[in-house]
């Protein structure tokens, strides 16, 4: 799980709420040398930036499998958490090419991404596979970074109706994804990344009002389930600078992709978080 130093009380801002959560997945964009260069630069930012050192933002990075150990070493002495992009549903055995949650935990991962739309579309991962992987993460002490999102953009100016339709879709995905762990009695806190499939790789994120409406609904859904206490919700899907500010405290985290390939962009978002929380840089 995420380290004990991170508060786990759910909330959506204000006193007693958890910090903002900001993460970056590198997918398969970088080679090994560039990944390590990027990680060292982010580590330098994290060692000195008051949003991280002061506990206002929990920062995590998700590199490729071969980079996990050297990135962990690059992050030593920071409060940055390490995540993996995938895991096997089994803990050991004859599964060529797979990496278990047990090994990920052993090498220092705190969280692992599960259920991303690209895994579903490109590699045929269905609801059963996602549920088994969430279970594998939880039983190995890893926080599932559980990706959910509706396929189709709301038609026109759908407003609250569009957010309501999306919320029904993503809470159904959560119910399914948590099913195997719940049946085994190993359910626990998750980090939900709301990533509308239609916004992934788009020039801009989903409309602000749509994002806020779905995130509010997801937090309410999670808060109503004590067994998921400590869960958090972040937004992904072409997320970038400015979104936290426009969310006015109701967007409590971002899951970044290509907009964070420049480490300076990570610092910009941390600056934004400081301003949002009313702290001078």
Q: Which of 92, 181, 84 is nearest to 130 (CA)?
A: 181
Quote the distance between the C-alpha of residue 175 and its chain's center.
18
Place of tokens 């996602």: 130
195 is catalytic: yes
**Dihedral (CA of 232, 233, 238, 239) sign:** negative
The answer to whether 52 and 14 have CB atoms below 8 angstroms apart is: no
Tell me the torsion sign for CA atoms 50, 278, 254, 229. Answer: positive
The single residue of 49, 81, 116, 210 carrying the catalytic annotation is 116
Angle, helices 159-177 vs 127-139, to 10°: value is: 60
Does the active-site annotation cover 103? no
| 263: Cβ contacts below 8 Å, ≥ 6 apart | 38, 41, 42, 44, 45
Please, what is the angle between helix 208-223 and helix 159-177, to 10°?
Answer: 40
For residues 105 and 83, what is the distance between their CA atoms, to the nearest angstrom? 10
SS3 147: strand
Catalytic: which of 113, 125, 195, 272? 195
User: Among candidates 17, 68, 24, 15, which has minimal Cα distance to 45?
Assistant: 24
Catalytic residues: 116, 195
């Amino acid at each position: 799980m995420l380290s004990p130093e991170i508060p786990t009380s759910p909330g959506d801002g204000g006193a007693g709420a958890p910090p903002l959560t900001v993460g970056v997945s590198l997918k398969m964009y970088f080679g090994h040398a560039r990944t390590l260069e990027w990680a060292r630069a982010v580590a330098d930012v994290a060692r000195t930036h008051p949003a991280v050192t002061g506990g206002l933002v929990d920062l995590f990075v998700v590199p490729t499998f071969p980079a996990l150990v050297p990135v962990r070493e690059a992050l030593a002495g920071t409060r940055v958490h390490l995540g993996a992009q995938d895991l096997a549903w089994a803990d050991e055995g004859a599964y060529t090419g797979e990496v278990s949650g047990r090994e990920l935990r052993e090498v220092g991962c705190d969280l692992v991404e599960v259920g991303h739309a690209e895994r579903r579309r490109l590699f045929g991962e269905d609801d059963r596979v996602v549920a088994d992987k969430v279970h594998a993460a939880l039983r190995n002490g890893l926080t599932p970074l559980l990706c959910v999102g509706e396929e189709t953009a709301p038609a026109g100016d759908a407003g609250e109706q569009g957010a309501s339709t999306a919320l029904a879709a993503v809470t159904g995905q959560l119910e399914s994804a948590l099913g195997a762990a719940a049946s085994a009695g190993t359910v626990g806190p998750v980090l939900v990344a709301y990533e509308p499939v239609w916004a992934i790789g788009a020039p801009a994120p989903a409309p602000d009002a749509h994002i806020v409406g779905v995130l509010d609904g997801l937090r309410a859904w999670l808060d109503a389930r004590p067994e998921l206490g400590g869960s958090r919700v972040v937004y992904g899907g072409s997320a970038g600078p400015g979104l936290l500010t426009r969310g006015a405290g109701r967007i409590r985290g971002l899951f970044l992709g290509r907009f964070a390939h420049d480490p300076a962009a990570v610092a910009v978002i941390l600056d934004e978080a400081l301003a949002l929380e009313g702290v001078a840089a």
